[in-house]
Structure 1
């Protein structure tokens, strides 16, 4: 299958540079067409190719700019894997950032997370997945309690993981030469594969069954 994504052109970074700081409404509107063509459309092509490579990534949205300056300065996209579990992408002047995340949990998800982490079978699976990402240079973050949650021993083998109420693992592609070519797509696919053990764990153990993925969505506003 022919790939759609060929990279972000140099002009894409020039458009974002013109939006840096506090651009006026006139400045934003003046570059709207160029931003759509040079910045957002390549992200749509990228996500189409990612979904073609793996149908699990078919439920995605490439966000529009709305009224918020930040949205104009950063082109974001989301691949939904399960309820509150996603792979998120952001293209801006710093490069292309990709993260796998379980965050903004629904009621009951944190409890399910803690039970699965404490379990002697499912807990080590997540521990290994996160440690593997950390060793590969991913930044691990999230909402972390200062103390072990009530009902769990502070000496538990996975006491550190039990303190998390959300988990995010991400890394940034800051090579401009790759961003200009389809190498960025290969990097995203490799990153998604590396994130898969972690995000799949959350999809299995923290979320509840969802409806089948909807058709691809490329026009989303906030």
Structure 2
């Protein structure tokens, strides 16, 4: 199928430049049409192409606007993979960013996460691989190991997590102005797939 996403034009960056700082409501209103055409609609096309290329991207949403400047300065999109397991994309003046996340977990999910971490060292290896590929691993982390586990557990650091995120900035190079951005996101999804699959199997259900 021919791709609809052709890249973010240079004019998209110019719109975002004008929205930097604390733009007035008048400036935001004046730029709304250009921002929709040049910034948001390319993200819509990108997600549509991703969904055609990989069914994992089918359940997605592309954010619209808000009264505050922040959402105008960054165009966000979300792909729902399982309960509280998601991929998110952000486009702003720094380029395109991708995040694989399990967050906003329920108490039951957090218990399942900890039990799986305690029983199986596989997640550690996945995260080490992602770090080696340039991903930042972060999340909501407790100060201490949960009381149900020994403080010297070999995976004590992971047991402290109440959410888990892998984040990478893909950049703002010339490919971002071309259809190649579709392939860049698909490659990032391939990187993240072992982690996201593990979270879906062990935590989300």
Cα distance in 1, alignment partners of residues 143 and 134 from structure 2: 24
Cα distance in 1, alignment partners of residues 112 and 68 from structure 2: 35
Q: Which residue matches 1:69?
A: 69
What's the offset of the Cα at 1:60?
0.3
**Alignment of 1:151 onto 2:164:** no
Q: Which residue matches 2:158?
A: 161
Where do residues 165-184 of structure 1 align in structure 2 (5 Å cutoff)? 165-184=162-181
Q: Which residue matches 1:188?
A: 185
Where do residues 1-222 of structure 1 align in structure 2 (5 Å cutoff)? 1-119=1-119, 123-208=120-205
- What's the TM-score, normalizing by structure 2? 0.97
Cα distance in 2, alignment partners of residues 140 and 79 from structure 1: 19
Bigger proportion of residues as helix:
2
What's the offset of the Cα at 1:56?
1.6
What's the offset of the Cα at 1:176?
2.8
What's the offset of the Cα at 1:74?
0.4
Cα distance in 2, alignment partners of residues 96 and 158 from structure 1: 32
Cα distance in 1, alignment partners of residues 202 and 67 from structure 2: 37
Cα distance in 1, alignment partners of residues 49 and 123 from structure 2: 28
Conserved? CA contact 2:94–2:172, under 8 Å: no
SS, match of residue 6 in structure 2: coil
Greater shift in the superposed pair: 149-158 or 46-55: 149-158
SS, match of residue 6 in structure 1: coil
What's the offset of the Cα at 1:125?
2.1
Q: Which runs of 4+ in 1 moved over 2 A?
A: none
SS, match of residue 31 in structure 1: helix
What's the offset of the Cα at 1:57?
1.4
What's the offset of the Cα at 1:66?
2.0
SS, match of residue 137 in structure 1: coil
